[in-house]
Structure 1
Amino acid sequence: MAFGKQKTDENSFSGYKDVSGEFSNKMFQRAYWIVTHKIFLRNLLISALVFWCVISLGYSIFVWVKYFTVDYFEDEAMRAQQTIDLPDYTRIQAMYAAKKLKFSGTNIFKSAEDSYDFVTTVQNPNTRFLATVTYHYSYSGEKTATASAVILPKKENMLAVLGQKVDRAPSRGRLVIEHINWQRIRNHAIPDIEKHMEARLQFLVDDFDVVYTRAGSETVPTVEFSITNASYYSFWEPQFYIELLKGNNTAAVLPLFVNKFMSEETRTFELHPIMPIKNITNIRVLPNVNIFDTTTFME
């Protein structure tokens, strides 16, 4: 048993009493430890930051050195290879662009005194392109009025200027194309374009005959035939070119306008060329209608 006054430990917290209830003995111990080790904690934080900076800077230097000594040259080689392997989009565009129209030679026919017809047959080889051609003819230092025609996909039509008044017989005529407007027919609008056209272009020609009559000293033909609109579509005023043939050769081209050509209707026609034309063996009827224009059809 010890006698006398007992020595009190200055670091002892057992005698601390929290009278407020807001700062416990354990919290006081933690706060005391932080205060007494503040310099140690600061040095530890600085050491950690220095270590992180050294690692980051060292890694950055390593990456940059590696890039300029190895990766840079690999990137340049890859860039050069990409340039070589880059697709030629001009060729791809050419694959999907419209093919050129095919023109026959220009024919000149005398249609009346001091009047001539200029005619060129044109074919559209494209499946999904509609061509609108603006053109005129030049001849003997003169030129005709400007005209336009629609060439349906995979179809043939005529670029004609009929009844051109001239002072003297033109020795030759030259077709001058002013502009071609291409209209692409989208798949989602018309999936089967061939059936779409076939359903509307059902003009059947029958009862062809040629009757020759004397007119003074000349023999003038009367061309008779019938056209049936065998489709389910009625047309407001379809136009046709009637090509008079001598064997396989074109003798003349005559225009034909039909007013309100109803579905499943048959019309009989008589055409009277002004100029005497002999030995007509057949005719060819070319519809000159734009079936992709909804205003062409009657409701």
Structure 2
Amino acid sequence: MAFNPNQQPISQTETKEPNVSKKSSDKEGELKASFKFSYWFFRNKPFLKKVFMGIVIIIVAAPWTYTLIWLLDWAIITGPKERANLNTILDIKVSQEAITNVSAVPLDFGEAEIFAGGIGQYDIFSQVKNQNAKWWVEFQYRFVGEGLESDWRNGFILPGETKYITNLGVERAFRPRNIRLETRDIKFHRIDNHVIPDYAKFKKERMDIPISDKNFDPRAIQNKKNIALLSFTAKNNTAYDYWLVGFYTYLYRGDQLVALNYIGVPELTSGEARDLEIYFYEGLPAISKYEIVPELNIFDEDGYIK
């Protein structure tokens, strides 16, 4: 068979025809799918628009919905309950003890009073009360009036104590008038519960100074005016030695205080007993009872002999 260069190979023509047919089929399928989606989209466009808007509304409205629910809950349920609880708390009455545990109540100073203390001498005094169970107090005081301006004196008062502060044996030719008490430098000291957990025990251990052999003689010395004598024995039953322990003596007619005096006992050591005498030089009415009260600042470290 002779070779003809212009003749196309039959095999090449036969192999190309199937590929062209496949591509045409794929393209036709894509066009049909695109047409179907477009037709479905346009047909359902109103519905899809509603769905989209619904989603947007939900996203935007969610925070406001939560806020509205919270406000309704506060207004109807939670709010009234909390207001009721707050009113209950505000209605609780705090006891005086609770208040004084946090802050101190001011001292209560009485009016200045004066007794004749002998010829040309006068005893001036005032009662002071400390209502605080957890505070002891230091202060300075003096008595002033017509014909009198005394020096400032140091005073103290223990927790819960009622006592007299005095200026005894003031020498004046005439009885001072319009006497009044002045105070300054009032310092409150709160008891540290970590250092002194039991104040009653702390005080008892340091103030165990019993008084015995008491005797009051209203006519111990007789002259123009009877001079009275109060004698007693004081014993230091504590484990501490003190530089100075004072003793105030009070004489009463019924419940009325009519005379007072003071004696200081230096260097009273542990276990020691002292026999003491106090004279009253002014003329006294009939005495129905008397008191002897130790005077000692148990919080003052300088008062202990170490």
TM-score, length of structure 1 as denominator length = 0.66
Q: Which residue of 2 aligns with 1:261?
A: 268
The equivalent of 1:17 in structure 2 is none
SS at match of 1:157: strand
Q: Which secondary structure state, in structure 2, belongs to the residue aligned with residue 256 of structure 1?
A: strand
The answer for the alignment partner of 2:248 in structure 1 is: 241
Listed as ranges, the matches of 1:97-246 within 5 Å are 97=100, 98=104, 106-140=112-146, 143-171=149-177, 173-176=179-182, 178=184, 180-209=186-215, 210=217, 212-214=220-222, 217-245=224-252
Which deviates more, 155-164 or 123-132? 123-132
Letter in 2 for 1:226: T
Other structure's SS at 1:59 match: helix
Deviation at 1:73, TM superposition (A): 4.4
1:261 Cα deviation after fit: 0.7
Shift of the 66–124 alpha-carbon distance from structure 1 to 2, 3 Å rule, reads: closer
Match of 2:291 in 1: 284
Residue 238 of structure 1 aligns to which amino acid in structure 2?
A: V
CA apart distance, 1:262: 0.3
CA drift at 1:79? 7.2
Deviation at residue 134 of structure 1 after TM alignment? 3.9
Q: Deviations over 1:18-46 (max 9, x none)?
A: xxxxxxxxxxxxxxxxxxxxxxxxxxxxx
Contact 2:111 2:180 in 1 (8 A): no
State yes or no: 1:58 paired with 2:61.
yes
Q: Is the 8 A contact 2:248 2:263 kept in 1?
A: yes
Q: Calculate the TM-score normalised by the size of structure 2.
A: 0.65
Q: Taking structure 1 as reference, are residues 93 and 283 closer, same or farther at Cα in structure 2, changes over 3 Å only?
A: closer
Shift in Å at residue 227 of structure 1?
1.0
Change (3 A) 1:9 1:264: farther
**Unpaired segments ≥5 residues, structure 2:** 1-9, 21-51
Q: Which has the higher helix share?
A: 2
Aligned AA (1:57): V
Secondary structure of the residue aligned to 1:291 is: coil
1:270 correspondence with 2:273 = no
After superposition, give the CA deviation of every residue in 1:249-281 in whole Å (9 maximum; x if it has no partner): 444322222211101100122334444557667
Question: Residues of 1 paired with 2:79 and 2:222: CA distance?
Answer: 88
Structure 2 CA distance for partners of 1:200 and 1:219, relative to 1, 3 Å: same
The Cα shift of 1:203 comes to: 1.4
Residue 16 of structure 1 is matched in structure 2 by: none
- 1:90: how far off? 8.8
**d(CA) in 1 for partners of 2:113 and 2:157?**
19
Aligned partner of 1:132: which letter?
E
Identify unmatched segments of 5+ residues in structure 1.
Answer: 11-48
Question: How many residues are matched?
Answer: 257
Query: Displacement of 1:291 after TM fit?
Result: 0.9
SS in structure 2 of the partner of residue 237 of structure 1: strand
Contact 1:136 1:178 in 2 (8 A): no
Larger Rg: 2
Deviation per residue, 1:208-250 (Å, 9 max, x gap): 34462346x4443444322111111111212222334556544
Cα distance, 1:118 vs. partner?
1.2
Question: Quick check: 223-232 or 261-270, which moved more?
Answer: 223-232
Cα distance, 1:170 vs structure 2: 3.3
Cα offsets for 1:58-108 (capped at 9, x unmatched): 31343355567x357458767755663453699468742245656666542
Shift of the 220–92 alpha-carbon distance from structure 1 to 2, 3 Å rule, reads closer
CA RMSD of aligned residues (A): 4.0
Percent of paired sites with the same residue:
22
The 3-state SS of whatever aligns with 2:205 is helix
Question: What is the alpha-carbon distance in structure 1 between the residues aligned to residue 244 and residue 60 of structure 2?
Answer: 85
Residue of structure 2 in register with 1:44 after alignment: none
Matches of 2:81 and 2:99, distance apart in 1: 30
Mapped to 2, the partners of 1:90 and 1:174 lie a distance apart of 37
Letter in 1 for 2:231: E
